[in-house]
Chains A and B, each alone.
Chain A
Amino acid sequence: MSHSLHGTFVSEKINKIRWRPDEFNNSHFFITGSVDNDQNNVKLWDFYENEEEDDIYPFLVSTFPYCGDVTEAKFLNADYFVTSSSSGSAHLIQIVPAYTESISLKNTITWEKGHHFKNGDPSSCTGLAVYDNDIITIGEDGCINLLNAKAPKVLRRIDDADSCSIHCVIFLKHNEILTSNLRGQMKIWDLRSQNNVASSTFMISGDQVTPTCLTYHPTQRHLVVTGDDLGALTTWDLRNSTYPVNVLDAHDGGVAEVLFDADRPDRLFSCSGAGQLWRWGTRGAGGNATPDVWLAPDNVKGKLDVFALMPTLHQPINSLDLNRNRVICGCDNEAIYLINGVDM
């Protein structure tokens, strides 16, 4: 399949876009979550591929009206995904298969207003992370909530986990999470520990940079990459987290999301608020792809190739996801794009 780009205007800004996982085939279903709309939506789409016309367009399968902006969406498995909302709630949503009628979206659990300020104002739930059935949500109220997809109640709440609003979270291990806050402070939390204190803390930089996304290396989880609102990608080795391993001045505008290619861990995808969508790969890629390149403290740039997957948009690209060799992204110009054959 050759490299091809398909854009579709969808009349709402897409904040999150995720392929529905499919272990055996190319995914063709995906979900989108909107932002800044009078009535936001979570939508399920199908990229309908027309063999004859060589034309691909997304076909809207189901719409689920959502309260507040969709701030994050993550799949637990092929049928269930979790979303977080700027209203402070989180939702477990099921893709109900079509035995009788068409496929639809069904809200199975709502964790209502899990995040709120002490004066009663609602707080945005800024993100979430999943590990099996465990779900962590974070919010502007500086709290961390531990949820489980099987329980409609909040299992544990770390109040005042951070004096600033928390913006990103990932699972490092089943019992360990990493959070980052508005001013670039990163904290590692051991979930087994009963006292509500972070097990370690470090700063992304001294200059009040806000990390905008976090991800870990698919094979080496202690290797973490952060993207921040100044467009830099910072690599950390959490075994020694006082200083970053390296800092790449990458994008113009904030990095919106970063994602390693799970099948080829030497590759990384990133998108930015300046409308760029990039694929990073090791130079002279081929058989000897080493994950070490992300760990190399010196001259990483010389070892990396950056490839723009599409012409720079005039508006932020908020989200991207990868399935095999297909990337989808959702943007502030109220459009979604599919890029086929990104390994070309």
Chain B
Amino acid sequence: MTKEVKTFLIPNDLCRRAGIAVTWLPIDQISVFAYERKNIHQKDQPSHFSSNNQTSIFHLRQDVVLFHPILRKLVNESHGVFLAVQTLMTSKTVNQRIELFKLSRQYRSIIRACLENLQDEIMKSGDGVEKEELQNYITVFYSIECIWHLCEILFVEVMPGNLVLTQLLEWIRFHFPKYERNAATMLSGDLTGLESQPEYWETVLGNLLQGRIKVVRVLLRQHSASDSSIFKLVDHVFKAMPLCNGSNGPSINDFNMQWRHWTMDVQSKIDAKLFTSEKHLDLMMRLVVGEEQAWIEIQDQCEAWYEYLAGWLFFTEPTVKPFELGQFAKRSITKMRMNHHMKHLDRVLLAAMEFDIFQVIKEIQYMPENGWFVSHLTDLLHHCERLSSLEKEVENFSAEKLRESFILDYAVTLMGHKSLWQVGLTYLDNCPNDGLQVIELLLPRIHIDTESKALKIIREAKNRGLNSVVQCICKVQGMISMKRGRLGNALSWALKSQDGPFTSFLADKFLQEYIKSGRLDSKDLLDNLGSCMLVSDRLIFLGKYYEFQKLYQSGEYREASMLLISLMASKIIPKYFWYILLLEAIPLLESEELLFSSNDTFTIIHCLEEKEHLPELKEKIEILRLAAARNLSRALTYEAQTINY
């Protein structure tokens, strides 16, 4: 790992003078602010940097290229494929490998669509900086596509007979489309004297190296001398060339035999100097038989060593096996004298051809696209069981853990985004070891600005059985509502998570508010508490007390007094509310109609004696006693009468 230190300047004078401190903000930001260090021996006083002027706080976060609008499409679209891969692995599909190959191609088509979008955007943007940025993205994703394609051929695709050349040529043709394009333009234009065009021979040779023998023959036929014997001979040679096309062609042994015969035939024609009159044709024939000198002559035409490699293999090792690629790749690099000029892309491709998957992953994990590539490719390779063999070779290596660590990093990056957090969440779902714990940590830290978002996050938490997160979010929402003076709403949030202590806390607030103002708020809510009251004793009390008030106000005194007595007999009255309840009894005790039986009155007196020490009752206790005594006498008299009859 390269250890580069990047320095960011905080453009602030106060920070410069006082020094700075840094603290983490949720998920992926850090906050920088001016800070003066003090130790315990210094006097506790305001810093001399402090002032009443506004000061700035700086939030920093890593620049994530994936958050560019165009790349967000890639993130979202590839997310779908990623999930398809996971579902496939848990299903019992017979041809998993073939399906994985299809999904790998889907990934690549998404990358290509993304490249196309980037190209379109470049056309539109005139600005220099933005254009450069887009150009950088294109370079990065072009490399990704190139590497992915090769990895797909070598590690994902199931090749018939283990023959790799056809796919390899396809890969080269796709990434070096110049010759095919040139040939197409030439052939669609004026055909007379095609060789007079400056690119004619270059195009012929280019197509030859990419194994497009048919195109080569068509181009040669358009040469004005195509009727001459030498051209005819060349055409004949190509026509006779045996082709190895995997399963439906001849068997490998037969093919090798045919091939040896054919090259010997061509070699004998070269030795007989049949082609010397036309130097290009001579070169082509010498290339075909793999003559060293000829390949040295041609190598300057190749843009990359792997282009050279594919051509060379096509004519000298047509039945090359995947595991032999590495040695040939190294040979090509030496031939092209590239050993000391290997770029990142070259190194990754070489590592892939050497089947050094470990090295491939090592190289691509630092590509500047925030781990999109490495996490998706590693996941795919893991499911193709390409990583399990490494477990035997490398000590302490677990394919499963490697996959998870990349996906985890990628997911956490996404979780830091305002919009993409849901995508991040489903990636975390696919981390069997630590995913859930990370979700538990990150979910409550997502910035919530509306209740609908809160409900969405709660839903996600509930789906994953994270009740602590649900409670935490509901509590935060409740506290916010409370601060805004919306006690009713706060209570709704508390009830949503069935949070007993928090509900009690809020019910207390309601009662205290009542003591202060003599008014109960949120009547519409208290009216319809229903069964959810049972969450907390305090709420039951609040509900019952509200019911008592309603009865009292509507003049149903008998019911009201019964409720009051049952409340007093219960043990759920908060200490601070006792005196209110006792005071409420006075008018009922003194009412014209007899409301309390003697037993009821004893209950009241009993409570009164128990609570007489309450300071709030001091002034009223005499009145209460008197009222109770008078009611008791009325009740006893009345009850005596009824018994007599």
Contact = CB atoms under 8 A, between A and B. Distances in A.
Asked if chains A and B come from one complex, the reply is: yes
A229 B455 contact: yes
Contacts of A198: 524
Given A163-B489, A182-B489, A273-B456, A121 B484 contact: yes
A141 B489 CA distance: 9
A165 B452 CA distance: 11
Given A37-B418, A119-B485, A206-B532, A185 B524 contact: yes
Given A37-B419, A314-B426, A332-B422, A117 B485 contact: yes
Interface string B506-521: 0000000000000001
Contact of B72 (A208, A210, A334): A334
Nearest to B480: A121
Interface residues of B, number: 44
Nearest to B449: A86
Contact of B83 (A141, A203, A314): A314
Nearest to A334: B76
Nearest to B525: A163
A69 B422 CA distance: 17
Contacts of B523: 163
Contact of A126 (B423, B426, B452, B456): B452
A229 B459 contact: yes
A162 B77 CA distance: 42
A254 B451 contact: no
Interface string A249-283: 00001100000000000000000010000000000
A315 B422 contact: yes
A183 B523 CA distance: 14
A273 B425 CA distance: 15
A124 B486 contact: no
A118 B484 contact: yes
A212 B454 CA distance: 13
Interface string A127-164: 00000000000001110000000000000000000111
Given A164-B492, A208-B492, A71 B531 contact: no
A203 B76 contact: no
Contacts of B449: 69, 86, 124
B273 interface: no
A331 to B, nearest CB: 9
Interface in A6-39: 9-13, 35-38
A163 B532 contact: no
B488 A163 contact: yes
A208 B453 CA distance: 17
B69 interface: yes
Contacts of B456: 273, 316
Contact of A206 (B79, B522, B531): B531
Given A119-B483, A333-B80, A334-B72, A71 B452 contact: yes
Contacts of A69: 449-450
A334 B489 contact: no
B99 to A, nearest CB: 16
A167 interface: yes
Interface string A287-326: 0000000000000000000000000001110000000000
A177 interface: no
Given A37-B418, A164-B489, A71 B450 contact: yes
Contacts of A11: 69-70, 72-73
A35 to B, nearest CB: 8
B140 to A, nearest CB: 19
B124 to A, nearest CB: 12
Given A164-B488, A165-B489, A315-B422, A208 B532 contact: yes
Interface of B: 69-70, 72-73, 76-77, 79-80, 83, 418-419, 422-423, 426, 449-453, 455-456, 459, 463, 483-489, 492-493, 495-496, 521-525, 527-528, 530-532
Leading 10 A-B pairs by shortest Cβ distance: A163-B488, A163-B522, A11-B69, A9-B73, A117-B484, A36-B419, A206-B530, A124-B450, A183-B492, A11-B72
Given A12-B69, A201-B527, A334-B73, 7 more contacts: A11-B69, A71-B452, A124-B451, A126-B451, A164-B492, A183-B492, A315-B422
26 contacts: A11-B73, A69-B449, A140-B489, A142-B486, A142-B488, A163-B487, A163-B488, A163-B525, A164-B488, A164-B522, A164-B525, A165-B451, A167-B451, A187-B524, A201-B527, A206-B530, A207-B532, A208-B532, A253-B459, A253-B463, A314-B79, A315-B423, A316-B456, A332-B422, A334-B73, A335-B76
